[in-house]
Each structure stands twice: as structure tokens, then as C-alpha cells.
Amino acid sequence: MTTQPPLVLGIETSCDETGVALYGERGLLADALYSQIDMHAEYGGVVPELASRDHVRKLIPLIKQCFANASVTSRELSGVAYTSGPGLVGALFAGASVARSLAYAWDIPSIGVHHMEGHLLAPMLETTPPSFPFVALLVSGGHTQLIKVNQIGDYQLLGESLDDAAGEAFDKTAKLLNLGYPGGPALAACAKNGNPERFNFPRPMTNRPGLDFSFSGLKTFALTTSQQHALDEQTCADIARAFEDAVADTLAIKCKRALTQTGLSTLVVAGGVSANQRLRKTLDQMAKEISAKVFYPRHEFCTDNGAMIAYAGYQRLLAGEFDELSIKARPRWPLSALNTPQTK
């Protein structure tokens, strides 16, 4: 009797993107993503109730799409992984209830995955993944964290944002410049036309020891600068460029410090802000100076997606972990609370 190769369905619904994917022994077989950006753009930000309802509408069609694209059926599944937190509680429950119901109906285990662990492991989906141990810079939504990663589940928090995360600062600065939603990509696009010499923004908390971040003051500096000048198209671009440079430099300085303190030479950068090209250029230059290597997920796996959840769930289900029958959603869930899976 042959043993069926493990295959995991991953479901991501932490905020405003509905992601579904299938990951197994042969790698990523299929992934599908629906973004709610157009719906939330009308309001200038995510409306939690609308996000939850849209996840409910889109999940089953996306799951069917993944099965069709991978030419597999539910009978071939070994488990269902879903984002259990952190995130918007209603959105989390939408994905968790579907995942748990399907797992129960199919008589297979399910497991709630930590959203940030999914981001952290996203570079593992690439052809040339990083090797443990490494330092990870997680820059996703409301999170900016530096973490020492010894292995899956063994995470040591080195530093984090004490107020606004980098992504939040991007969004708020874009809003004050009337650049539209989502703010991060809009500000990056505007910054391409900016003069890097016109404004000089501070690099917060880089002149003191430690690996924590603070971006609220940088956001305020951008507001003050905008109030002191007529906001024509060029001035907006110049402010956006100065802000983007300051964030990239600050993150690079702290990453270099983290690599030096840990004695490691591998940096993993993940989360939505990791798609920013100026940040990548700055980090690549920093790494070159100290003979370190930087790994990023491919562009479509920087933002929220089902592939990263399927991969993280696959690793934990492979180690024998699974949920009880109760449905759990954790709007707040520190990454340090995760355990290291004992691989069989």
C-alpha cells in the first residue's frame, strides 16, 4: 500500500485580500488571489465589515479554481491551513470557519497559521531559498519587526516598531499628500519623480543603540514639510522621495546592526513593504558592503497570499500539529508565542 504524498490547502483572509493555494511534496501546485483594493479605495482604507463579507463571497470560488488549476480533488488533501491571526477579527473568522468546516467535512486535520510566520517563510517558496539561521525583517501592514530565525517556530524578537509601523507610515503619508489608496505603492510611484536633494528627512532612532523602530515622528515631519510648501505635483514627489529614502535608510541601518549583533550573514525581507524597489536597492547595497546575502519573496508573494499560508501549514502539519474542533481567530498574536514543530 503506497502512502499518499501530503497536500495542503491554504486559506488567507487576514485583511483585504482573499488568498487560496495548494502546496504539497511537489511544491506549489496552484494559487489564486482576489484583492479588495477597488472596493476599499472608495473609503480611503479598509472597511472591516465589507472585507469580511467579501471573503465569504470569494472563498469557495477561489478554492474551486485552485483545485481545477492543479487537477486535484479534495480526496487528495492531507490538511487545511488557514490564517488564524493576527488580523481583522471578522475577516479571520470568515477564513477560519470555512477552513474548519471543510476539514471537518473531508475528515482531515486543519491548523491555524500565524500570519507573520507565513510572511517570514514566503521566501522558502523560491527556487533558491535561504538557509537557517537568518535575520528576518518583517514589514507588513501594522508590523515592523526584526527577528532572529533559528528554524521554523524558533523565533527571537530583536526589535520592533514602538508606534507606527513602516507600512502604516507609508499609508498615512500618502494620504496627507492625497496620493490615493493603497498608499504604499502610490507613494513609491510618486517618489520616482522626486528630487532626492530637495528635502532631508531624519532617520529615526538610528543615533541610539538598539533595534527598535519609530516612524510616527517621520510621518509628522512629512506633515510639517507639506504644510510649509505649496503642494504642487513636484513638491509632492520631492516629499515622497525624501520620506521613502528615510524609511529605506532607517530599515537598512537597523538590519545591518542586527546582522552584526547576531553574527549572521543572511537577511530575509518579507511583507508588503518588501516589494518597495528603493528599499530593496538600499538593502542590497548594505548587504554588499558587509558581504551578506538578502532574500526576498517574489513580488506577488510580498503582499498577503494563500501560498505562504499553505507552505507554513504544510510544514506544521508534516510535523504532526493540528487544531482541535473549536474555531480560533487571534486578532493579536505575538510571533514569539509560536512553538518549534518537532519534525518526525
Nearest alpha carbon to residue 270 among 151, 155, 163, 141: 141
pTM score of the predicted model: 0.92
Domain range summary for the chain, segments of one domain joined by +: 7-121+302-337, 132-296
pLDDT (tens digit per residue) in 122-136: 999 999 999 999 999
Distances in Å between the Cα of 43 and the Cα atoms of 4, 51, 249 are 47, 12, 31
pLDDT (tens digit per residue) in 142-192: 889 999 999 998 999 999 999 999 999 999 999 999 999 899 999 999 999
Q: Which amino acid is at 271?
A: G
Determine phi and psi for 161, rounding to 5 degrees. -75, 135
Please tell me the predicted confidence (pLDDT) of residue 3: 52
Give dist(CA 207, CA 104) in Å, integer: 54
Binding site: which residues? 115, 119, 138-142, 171, 184, 276, 304
CATH H-level, domain 7-121+302-337: superfamily: ATPase, nucleotide binding domain (3.30.420.40)
132-296: CATH number? 3.30.420.40
Determine phi and psi for 36, rounding to 5 degrees. -95, 15
Binding site for Fe cation: which residues? 115, 119, 304
Give dist(CA 26, CA 47) in Å, integer: 38
Please tell me the predicted confidence (pLDDT) of residue 343: 47
Distances in Å between the Cα of 155 and the Cα atoms of 39, 46, 235 are 36, 30, 42
Please tell me the predicted confidence (pLDDT) of residue 71: 97
SS3 169: helix
Please tell me the predicted confidence (pLDDT) of residue 325: 73
Fold match between 7-121+302-337 and 132-296? yes
Please tell me the predicted confidence (pLDDT) of residue 1: 33
Cell digits of residue 156:
527571537
Residue 86: asked if its preceding bond is cis (omega within 30°), the reply is yes
Binding site for substrate: which residues? 138-142, 171, 184, 276
Cell digits of residue 52:
469580511
Which residue stretches of the chain have pLDDT < 70?
Answer: 1-5, 339, 342-344
Distances in Å between the Cα of 45 and the Cα atoms of 25, 49, 85, 185, 279 are 38, 12, 20, 14, 23
Can you count the helices (H) and strands (E) in the chain? 10, 10
